[in-house]
Amino acid sequence: MSAASTADVPVRPIAIIGGTGPAGMGLALRWARAGETIIIGSRDPLRAQQAAAAVLLKAGPQAKISGTENATACAAADILMLTVPFEGQASLLKQLKPAMTPGSILIDATVPLAAGVGGRASRTLGVWQGSAAEQAAEIVPEEVSVVAAFHNLSAELLYGDLPLDCDVIVCSDDPDAAQLTSDLAKKIPGVRAIFGGKLENARIVEQITALLIGLNFRHKGHAGIRITGLPPGAYR
């Protein structure tokens, strides 16, 4: 039997839900450059197409990127990257629930910033479930695995050309979904992925973002995190 050629590998698109903002467009750019097929989702299909066109311009004509309405994007992919503000997260997920395919992975980067309710961006809100990611897990169908990741990456740096200087802590109750997310994280130059344990640890990772935002205000920078002192095998 001959070995499978790359042509036999099925394309597994990544739908970036709420992908028209800085975080979604930054991830779209980096993954498009890495050869991933990207579908940008939006509440407005035209805005999604415009965002896809802007990313295509930066990523180059070989990039595989399109834009459509969130539910259509959701139905067309089984890797769902959620990049919406906390204040829209729950209602959007409830709306998209019927469009989610069983076995899908939802990667959540939501940070429950107090800015969403008129507070400071350097403070977070208490979430009844413990974290935005756990709130997401409560809403999506049982057959959808939730992973928390990418909270600590600067969107501004992601939408640029230089390698990042940041680790991505990946939390999930599903080891396979966590590994797939780590593999995607590693496709971003300068990023290492570290498994951070169960989804309940997302509450800690989400809080770090508020600290980084405070540091950025104070020191006028784009702060990231590096976890040191672990054996090489921890960075996966």
Ligand X SMILES: NC(=O)c1ccc[n+]([C@@H]2O[C@H](COP(=O)([O-])OP(=O)(O)OC[C@H]3O[C@@H](n4cnc5c(N)ncnc54)[C@H](OP(=O)(O)O)[C@@H]3O)[C@@H](O)[C@H]2O)c1
Name the residues that contact ligand X, by CB under 6 A: 18, 20-24, 42-44, 47, 83-88, 92, 109-111, 113, 151, 153-155, 209
State which residue, 175 or 217, has the beta carbon closest to ligand X: 217
Q: For residues 65 and 151, what is the distance between their CA atoms, to the nearest angstrom?
A: 23
CA distance readout (Å), 23 to 4, 35, 81, 85, 102: 35, 19, 10, 10, 26
* Residue 105 and residue 177 in contact, taking contact as beta carbons nearer than 8 Å: yes
State which residue, 59 or 109, has the beta carbon closest to ligand X: 109
Query: Minimum Å distance from CB 154 to ligand X?
Result: 5
Query: Minimum Å distance from CB 231 to ligand X?
Result: 27
Q: For residues 43 and 40, what is the distance between their CA atoms, to the nearest angstrom?
A: 10
State which residue, 93 or 144, has the beta carbon closest to ligand X: 93
Query: Minimum Å distance from CB 74 to ligand X?
Result: 13
Query: Minimum Å distance from CB 90 to ligand X?
Result: 9
Greatest alpha-carbon span in the chain: 62
State which residue, 62 or 184, has the beta carbon closest to ligand X: 184
Query: Minimum Å distance from CB 217 to ligand X?
Result: 13
Query: Minimum Å distance from CB 127 to ligand X?
Result: 12
State which residue, 23 or 63, has the beta carbon closest to ligand X: 23
Give the type of residue at 45: P
Burial of 5 (0-12, 13-18, 19+ CB in 10 A): exposed
Q: For residues 122 and 176, what is the distance between their CA atoms, to the nearest angstrom?
A: 33
State which residue, 13 or 45, has the beta carbon closest to ligand X: 45
Q: For residues 13 and 173, what is the distance between their CA atoms, to the nearest angstrom?
A: 23
State which residue, 7 or 125, has the beta carbon closest to ligand X: 125
Give the type of residue at 13: P
CB burial string 163-202: b at 16+ within 10 A, e below:
ebebbbbbbbebeebbbbbbebbeebeebbbbbbbebbbb
Query: Minimum Å distance from CB 133 to ligand X?
Result: 11
* Residue 145 and residue 105 in contact, taking contact as beta carbons nearer than 8 Å: yes
